[in-house]
Amino acid sequence: MILSAKSKDFIEWAANKELNIPLNINDLKVNLRDINHVSKTEISQIKEKLTKFNCCIYISDSNLKEDDNIMKFAMSLGMRTFDSHNIDDSNISTISADKTENNIRYIPYTNKALNWHTDGYYDSKPIFSWLLHCVEPASSGGENFLLDHELAIREYILKHDDISCLMSNNAFSIPKDKVAEREVTSNYVCDVNNEYKKLHMNFSMRKENIKINKNSKSAVSKLIKIIKEDCKKYHLTYKLSKSEGIVSNNILHGRNSFKDGPTMRKILRIRSHERL
């Protein structure tokens, strides 16, 4: 697909996208009998939501018994290879407000808010999907806000058309991180040149540790405005309860700040290099 408002393929895709916009958070939900034993029918229902909206919220009647079961669930959805570059050095990362000196520098592992972003924007190997499973919710706050990245790019092209600066492989760069053992990385903001021929996005509204190429600054500013203003009507917000989760083709998302009660908020996160 040529990402241009004048492209016949884009016009057809944009019109079809108009028919697949969730009207409210309930449009994303699928009920599961048991997260430890998800049926083929339930998997099909989740995949249907992902095909339409790039996102699904599942609600399990049973609590997760062991972490291996959430990995089996992820694999049944189509995740095969996983990103383990996290604090846990594991395919499953536990997200909680860990206050240790070494972890405090990574915002997801605190109780602070997370601005709009896609996962893995700082990595050279793309993250095409992710899963968040709630083991324990926050006492207050911690809501996730969600936006299909395809809607954001759709709105950008319809309004500004030229997206070439965002498709440049050096649209932005991330500095070297010695702790994470990561060299300087440069990447595109959006592109369709992948094995799926689907829109993929690398994006963050964080101002720290990200350098926008001078040729892309204007386009990125326009995109930020699109996400915050033009796409506000598409924003959905949801607080995960115990045994609920979100599965996504790496859509734009963020998190409100939160406070823990007697039990610390605990979210299991899985990132995959496959699109679902």
Taking only the tens place, the pLDDT of each residue in 78-98 is 999 999 878 778 899 999 987
Answer whether residue 55 is part of any domain.
yes
Amino acid 251: pLDDT:
98
CATH of the domain at 87: 3.60.130.10
pTM beyond cutoff 0.75? yes
Answer whether residue 172 is part of any domain.
no
Amino acid 178: pLDDT:
66
Q: How far apart are CA 26 and CA 143, in angstroms?
A: 15
Mean pLDDT of 104-130: 88
Q: In whole angstroms, how far apart are CA 83 and each of 37, 45, 242?
A: 24, 25, 24
The amino acid occupying position 205 is: M
Range of 102's domain?
Answer: 8-159+235-272
Task: Indicate the pLDDT class of residue 155, thresholds 50, 70 and 90.
Answer: very high
Q: How far apart are CA 46 and CA 111, in angstroms?
A: 29
Answer whether residue 54 is part of any domain.
yes
The total domain count for the chain is 1
Answer whether residue 208 is part of any domain.
no
Answer whether residue 135 is part of any domain.
yes
109-120 in b/e form (b: 16+ CB < 10 A) is: bbbeebebbbbb
pLDDT digits (tens, 9 = 90+) for 8-23: 999 999 999 999 999 9
What mean pLDDT is reported for the chain?
A: 93
Do the beta carbons of residue 174 and residue 184 sit within 8 Å?
yes
Q: Is 122 left (phi over 0), alpha (psi -120 to 50) or beta?
A: alpha
Answer whether residue 73 is part of any domain.
yes
Amino acid 12: pLDDT:
96
Answer whether residue 74 is part of any domain.
yes
Burial class (CB in 10 A: 0-12, 13-18, 19+), 156: buried
Answer whether residue 59 is part of any domain.
yes
pLDDT digits (tens, 9 = 90+) for 184-239: 889 999 999 999 999 999 999 987 778 999 999 999 999 999 999 999 999 999 99
